C-alpha cells in the first residue's frame, strides 16, 4: 500500500503527468508532531490547520478538480474536551477567513458529514461558505467534518428505507449507482488517490464506499510537515500505477 518517503526535501517535477481527478487526504499526525516538540496537542492542530490551507491552495493551483480532506471524524468527539474545543476554534477561524479568501477565488467549498453536533454558529458558517462559493467553477474542496464512512452509509440506507416505506422506491431499484446518489459526495467522481501522511496503514473510516478502487499512498511525514513536494512525489507515484479496476 504505497511507499515511504523521508523528510529530506527533494524536488519532484510533475510537468506533463496525468493528474488524479479526485484526491483524498487523511490529515494525520498533528498530535505526534506536537509531542515531538514538547508542545500541547492543540499546537499540532494549529500547525495542521495552517498546512491544510497551503496544500489545498496548491492542489487548486495545479489543476486538481476535487480534494477531500478528513478534518474531523465521528470518533474524534471522544478526544479530551480541550482538544475538541481547540479544533472547533480552528474550524471557526478558517470558515470565517474562507468567506473573504474565496470571495474572488474559484474554489467551491462543501462539507461532508453530520452537521447537527456542531454549534449553531459553526453550522451557519458552513452554510454561508457553501452558498457563497456555489457559483465557483474551480476545484471542489470537500471538508469531511463529523464524518464517518459507516455513518454515511447508514444515513444513505435510512433515506432509501424511508422511500421504500412511502412507496417512492422499490427494493429492486437499489443498485450501486443509487447508493452513490444518497452519499454526501453525490454527483462527484470517486477518489482516484488517497494519501495518508504519518505512516499509519489504516483507512480510518474514510470514504469507505467511494474508495473501493482508489490508489493509496502512505507517507511517513507528519501532516504539519507535509509539503507540496511530498504531494508531488505521491502524484508521480500515482502516474505510474496501472489501474485495472478489477480487470486484467
pLDDT digits (tens, 9 = 90+) for 109-135: 999 999 999 999 999 999 999 999 999
pLDDT tier at 66, thresholds 50, 70, 90: very high
Given a cut of 60, whether residue 18 has pLDDT beyond it is yes
pLDDT, tens digit (0-9, with 9 covering 90-100), for 200-211: 999 999 999 999
Given a cut of 70, whether residue 8 has pLDDT beyond it is no
Average pLDDT over residues 211-239: 97
Rounded to the nearest angstrom, the gap between the alpha carbon of residue 237 and the centroid of all alpha carbons in its chain is: 20
Rounded to the nearest angstrom, the gap between the alpha carbon of residue 118 and the centroid of all alpha carbons in its chain is: 18
Query: How would you classify residue 63: left for phi > 0, otherwise alpha for psi between -120 and 50, otherwise beta?
Result: left
CB 72 within 8 A of CB 28: no
Active site members: 28, 76
CB 69 within 8 A of CB 56: yes
Given a cut of 70, whether residue 5 has pLDDT beyond it is no
pLDDT tier at 4, thresholds 50, 70, 90: very low
- Rounded to 5 degrees, what are φ and ψ at 104? -110, 25
Fold of 23-147+189-203+221-239: Undecaprenyl pyrophosphate synthetase (3.40.1180)
pLDDT tier at 99, thresholds 50, 70, 90: confident
Residue 200: the pLDDT is 92
pLDDT tier at 247, thresholds 50, 70, 90: low
Q: Where are the domains of the chain?
A: 23-147+189-203+221-239, 158-186
- C-alpha span between 147 and 26 (Å, rounded): 12
CB 84 within 8 A of CB 76: yes
Given a cut of 70, whether residue 88 has pLDDT beyond it is yes
Site of grid cell 440506507: 157
Amino acid at each position: 500500500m504505497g511507499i515511504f518517503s523521508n523528510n529530506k526535501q527533494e524536488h519532484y517535477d510533475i510537468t506533463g503527468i496525468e493528474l488524479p481527478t479526485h484526491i483524498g487526504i487523511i490529515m494525520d499526525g498533528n498530535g505526534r508532531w506536537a509531542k515531538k516538540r514538547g508542545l500541547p496537542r492543540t499546537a499540532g492542530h494549529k500547525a495542521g490547520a495552517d498546512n491544510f490551507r497551503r496544500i489545498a491552495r496548491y492542489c487548486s493551483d495545479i489543476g486538481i478538480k476535487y480534494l477531500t480532506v478528513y478534518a474531523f471524524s465521528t470518533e474524534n468527539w471522544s478526544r479530551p474536551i480541550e482538544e475538541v474545543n481547540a479544533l472547533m476554534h480552528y474550524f471557526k477561524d478558517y470558515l470565517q477567513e474562507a468567506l473573504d479568501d474565496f470571495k474572488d477565488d474559484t474554489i467551491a467549498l462543501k462539507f461532508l458529514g453530520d452537521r447537527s453536533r456542531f454549534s449553531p454558529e459553526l453550522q451557519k458558517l458552513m452554510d454561508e461558505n457553501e452558498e457563497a462559493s456555489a457559483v465557483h467553477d474551480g476545484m471542489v474542496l470537500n471538508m469531511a467534518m463529523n464524518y464517518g464512512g459507516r455513518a454515511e452509509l447508514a444515513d444513505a440506507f435510512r433515506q432509501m428505507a424511508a422511500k421504500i416505506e412511502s412507496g417512492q422506491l422499490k427494493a429492486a431499484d437499489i443498485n450501486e449507482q443509487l447508493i452513490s446518489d444518497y452519499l454526501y459526495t453525490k454527483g462527484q467522481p470517486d477518489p482516484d488517490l488517497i494519501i495518508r501522511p504519518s505512516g499509519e496503514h489504516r483507512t480510518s473510516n474514510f470514504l469507505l464506499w467511494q474508495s473501493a478502487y482508489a490508489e493509496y499512498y502512505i507517507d511517513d511525514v507528519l501532516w504539519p510537515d507535509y509539503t507540496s513536494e511530498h504531494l508531488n512525489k505521491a502524484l508521480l507515484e500515482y502516474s505510474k500505477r496501472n489501474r485495472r479496476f478489477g480487470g486484467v
